[in-house]
């Protein structure tokens, strides 16, 4: 019996900032003899019905977004479920979609009544179509391929309709197989026979992994079609997925220290975790694509294109101090790049390596220094803190020490660099803000009942009162946005960079087993959104993110990134402002923007950086690719030559020696990696410009009328020093 009465108790407010994994299932050995699930076993169990009752009640009663489970939501669930199964419209036929459309407006009633048969019926059709497609793909490998024919392959079919018949779908897959052949030929240089063997294993893997999915996996996929129709951060974790989620929350995973996600058959590096082996190696970067995984110094590199994320994670995960080899396609240019193999040693994430660090930027033409504190995450050693250790590590304590050292070096001001900082401890976001203000509120939290709590500065003292800038980008999220938003609201410092990620919600993890008694089954967990953060000025960071006072021109395609790009994300909202006193009088950023824009107009390094971004954007926007070998090679070489040229131009304008002429068999990152260990390497263009902006902000308030006139800047009426 389900103890729904327990749900009436108030959920504890548990703030979670965590690594996101799309988990469904995994294998112990990728190519061991797998046990396939018979069709007769693909039926909903009692535990699934019980879990459905609890999940629907929690969401309908306690979720921050009150969205009725009706026909409108049912239609969204239907579309999401098909998207989860066949995102690229490569398996279902149009006739399948027509046949199952009868469920479009009935899934709401099915969920309310814990009737899960429609989800299983749809999955069985999908499973049959996978079998047919893999059989066809394997048969195509027996044929000869003519790479002199000038034809195109449309690899991104997400916005297209499903194929009308098998002949049309066969043609789609004929080109897919041919593209897979040509792609491996170009990026690996292997022989055709070896490539065919690799692809045969790849396709067989798709078949095997699909037919290993059991009723738990089907249930999780369907329920997540429901939860993501409500809001993107609400998710159900099956018992197996719950185990992996717990590992990620504890940060005790012994692996490479990277967040992965699936994207069009590839395993994409979403984020590098500070302090992990990948971060310390400087060889793996966000947006790189993992296409192969090997164990040890000489183990076979197993092709993982088309694998489910869990399987790739399982191959990468392993004991501390063991060697892992990854074959990747660098993400700086696109899928046309040449693959390369990296060697990493697994290890735990080291807190001391992910800790905040400082450095000094010299402005040589001005003979001035600006201090920089790089904060990769908001961390705290909870174990040491719980033991009462007065020297426990935390973001705020480390930054306090770094500030003291930088002030001793007579820096003119401080930059807090939050680029790529995805969040962390809420308490540390509060404590860090408190170093720069004397006292007051920092962030507001509103729960589903409308109650608002105000989180305040935990230490009513001011540690650093000097000039301050905060550098953010599109990957600055959660706790980073709380800090940057508070600094902006207090007018304590200037925010510079790109609009931030825009995650302003609070999640709670609910163990479903708490509400189902007399059962030895594990029912999994539900992560649900229960509250939203609001700035003390009243607006939310949700969706919009923190908008910098000075926005860098690198902020391109910002609407296609972050929270604002997610389906069903909570919209921007506002509440009543909290009571607080701004630190400074209004600052005339218009004058600072004028100097910034004038400076970057003639800054060749800045122009080259924007050209590099445009090159990547152009490559990533492609949805088709040529199946003509000569044309494909030419396009790829032109792309890599352009990249190489831009890298060298950037080095030259900064007074560095250009890299050697590009070897057509090597990817340019191999030269760049050697340069990573060299102190004589290109400086951070954006950080350098941030330092100059901060210096402008320091100088302008004290400038004379004549000096301002010389800069063509209108004299400020009233500006206080920060």
What is the DSSP secondary-structure string of 315-339?
A: HH---TT-EEEEEEE-TTT-TTSPP
Task: Examine the residue annotation and report whether 489 is marked as an active-site residue of this protein.
Answer: yes
Q: How confident is the model at residue 705 (pLDDT cuts 50, 70, 90)?
A: low
Q: Does residue 398 register a pLDDT over 90?
A: yes
- Residue 664's pLDDT is what? 59
Question: Which stretch of 49-58, 217-226, 615-624 has the lowest confidence by average pLDDT?
Answer: 615-624
- The phi and psi torsions of 266 (rounded to 5 degrees) equal -100, 155
Comparing C-alpha atoms, which of 478, 437, 471 is closest to residue 457?
437
Q: Does residue 535 register a pLDDT over 90?
A: yes
Which SS3 state, helix, strand or coil, does residue 652 take? helix
- Residue 244's pLDDT is what? 56
- Residue 464's pLDDT is what? 96
Give domain limits for the chain.
15-44+66-230, 251-345, 357-583, 586-722
Look at the domain 251-345 and name its fold: Pdz3 Domain (2.30.42)
Task: Examine the residue annotation and report whether 478 is marked as an active-site residue of this protein.
Answer: yes
Task: Examine the residue annotation and report whether 601 is marked as an active-site residue of this protein.
Answer: no
- Residue 347's pLDDT is what? 83
- Residue 256's pLDDT is what? 81
Average pLDDT over residues 237-244: 72
CA distances 164 to 79, 96, 170, 210, Å, are 18, 10, 11, 23
Catalytic site residue from 238, 396, 427, 478: 478
Look at the domain 357-583 and name its fold: 2-enoyl-CoA Hydratase; Chain A, domain 1 (3.90.226)
Question: Which stretch of 47-56, 96-105, 202-211 has the lowest confidence by average pLDDT?
Answer: 202-211
- Residue 702's pLDDT is what? 59
Average pLDDT over residues 383-402: 88
Average pLDDT over residues 515-539: 92
- Residue 617's pLDDT is what? 81
pLDDT tens, residue by residue, 54-74: 999 999 999 999 999 999 999
- Token output for 595: 């100097």
As a whole number of angstroms, the distance between CA 342 and CA 588 comes to 49
Q: Does residue 312 register a pLDDT over 60?
A: yes
Catalytic site residue from 503, 525, 527, 643: 503
Q: Does residue 722 register a pLDDT over 50?
A: no
* Same fold for the pair 251-345 and 357-583: no
Q: Does residue 565 register a pLDDT over 80?
A: yes
Task: Calculate helix-pair angle for 426-434, 479-489, nearest 10 degrees.
Answer: 30
Q: Does residue 14 register a pLDDT over 90?
A: no
The mean predicted confidence, pLDDT, of the chain is 85
pLDDT tens, residue by residue, 149-170: 999 999 999 999 999 999 999 9
Q: Does residue 284 register a pLDDT over 70?
A: yes
Average pLDDT over residues 468-473: 97
Catalytic site residue from 265, 489, 549, 696: 489
- Higher pLDDT, residue 32 or 128: 128
- Residue 196's pLDDT is what? 95
Q: Does residue 703 register a pLDDT over 70?
A: no
Find all residues with CB under 8 Å of 153, minimum gap 6, and list them. 175, 176, 178, 179, 624, 625, 626, 627
- Residue 138's pLDDT is what? 97
Question: Which stretch of 461-470, 584-593, 673-682 has the lowest confidence by average pLDDT?
Answer: 673-682
- Altogether, the residues listed in the chain come to a count of 722
As a whole number of angstroms, the distance between CA 484 and CA 541 comes to 10
- Token output for 515: 């509400």
- Residue 710's pLDDT is what? 59
């Amino acid at each position: 019996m389900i103890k729904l009465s327990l749900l009436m108790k108030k959920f504890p407010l548990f703030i979670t900032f965590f690594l996101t994994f799309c988990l469904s299932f995994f294998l112990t050995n990728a190519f061991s003899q797998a046990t396939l699930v018979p069709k007769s076993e693909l039926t909903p169990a009692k535990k699934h019905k019980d879990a459905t009752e609890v999940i629907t009640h929690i969401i309908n009663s306690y979720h921050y977004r009150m969205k009725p489970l009706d026909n409108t939501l049912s239609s969204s669930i239907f579309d999401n479920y098909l998207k989860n199964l066949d995102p690229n419209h490569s398996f279902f036929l149009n006739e399948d979609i027509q046949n199952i459309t009868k469920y479009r407006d009935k899934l709401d009633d099915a969920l309310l009544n814990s009737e899960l048969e429609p989800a299983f019926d749809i999955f069985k059709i999908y499973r049959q179509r996978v079998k047919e497609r893999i059989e066809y793909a394997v048969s195509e490998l027996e044929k000869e391929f003519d790479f002199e024919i000038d034809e195109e392959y449309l690899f991104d079919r997400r916005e297209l309709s499903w194929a009308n018949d098998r002949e049309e779908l066969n043609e789609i897959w004929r080109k897919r197989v041919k593209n897979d052949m040509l792609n491996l030929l170009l990026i690996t240089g292997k022989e055709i026979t070896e490539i065919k063997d690799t692809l045969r294993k790849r396709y067989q893997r798709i078949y095997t992994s699909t037919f290993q999915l059991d009723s738990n996996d089907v249930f999780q996929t369907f329920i997540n079609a429901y939860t993501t129709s409500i809001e993107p951060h609400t998710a159900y974790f099956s018992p197996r997925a719950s185990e992996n989620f717990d590992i990620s929350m504890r940060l005790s995973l012994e692996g490479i220290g990277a967040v992965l996600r699936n994207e069009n058959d590839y395993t994409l590096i979403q984020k590098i975790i500070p302090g992990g082996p990948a971060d310390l190696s400087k060889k793996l970067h966000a947006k790189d694509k993992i296409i192969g995984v090997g164990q040890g110094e000489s183990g076979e590199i197993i092709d993982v294109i088309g694998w489910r994320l869990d399987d790739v994670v399982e191959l990468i995960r392993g004991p501390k101090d063991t060697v892992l080899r990854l074959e990747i396609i660098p993400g700086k240019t696109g899928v046309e790049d040449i693959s390369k193999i990296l060697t990493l040693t697994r290890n735990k994430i080291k807190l001391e390596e992910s800790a905040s660090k400082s450095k000094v930027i010299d402005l040589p033409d001005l003979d001035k220094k600006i201090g920089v504190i790089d904060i990769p995450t908001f961390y705290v050693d909870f174990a040491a803190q719980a033991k009462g250790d007065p020297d426990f590590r935390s973001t705020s304590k480390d930054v306090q020490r770094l500030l003291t050292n930088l002030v001793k070096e007579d820096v003119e001001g401080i930059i807090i660099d939050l680029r790529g900082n995805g969040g962390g401890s809420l308490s540390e976001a509060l404590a860090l803000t408190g170093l720069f203000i004397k006292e007051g509120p920092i962030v507001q939290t509103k729960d589903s009942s409308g109650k608002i709590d105000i989180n305040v500065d935990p230490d009513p003292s001011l540690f650093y009162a000097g000039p301050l800038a905060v550098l953010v980008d599109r990957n600055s999220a959660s706790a980073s946005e709380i800090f940057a938003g508070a600094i902006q609201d207090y007018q304590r410092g200037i925010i510079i960079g790109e609009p931030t990620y825009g995650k302003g919600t609070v999640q709670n993890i609910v163990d479903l087993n708490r509400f189902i008694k007399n059962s030895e089954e594990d029912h999994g967990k539900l992560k649900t959104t229960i509250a939203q953060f609001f700035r003390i000025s009243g607006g939310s960071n949700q969706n919009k993110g923190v908008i910098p006072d000075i926005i860098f021109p690198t902020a391109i395609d910002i609407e296609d990134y972050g929270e604002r790009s997610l389906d069903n994300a909570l919209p921007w909202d506002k509440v009543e402002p909290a009571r607080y006193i701004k630190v400074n009088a209004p600052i005339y950023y218009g004058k600072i923007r004028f100097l910034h824009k004038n400076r970057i107009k003639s800054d060749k390094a800045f122009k080259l950086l924007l050209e590099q971004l445009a090159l990547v954007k152009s490559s990533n926007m492609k949805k088709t690719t040529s199946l003509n070998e000569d044309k494909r090679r030419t396009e790829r070489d032109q792309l890599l030559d352009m990249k190489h040229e831009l890298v060298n131009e950037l080095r030259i304008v900064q007074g560095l020696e250009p890299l050697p002429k590009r070897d057509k068999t090597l990817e340019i990152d191999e030269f760049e990696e050697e340069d990573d260990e060299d102190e004589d390497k290109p400086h951070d263009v954006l950080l350098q410009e941030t330092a100059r902006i901060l210096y402008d902000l320091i100088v302008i308030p004290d400038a004379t009328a004549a000096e301002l006139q010389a800069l063509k800047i209108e004299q400020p009426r009233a500006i206080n020093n920060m």
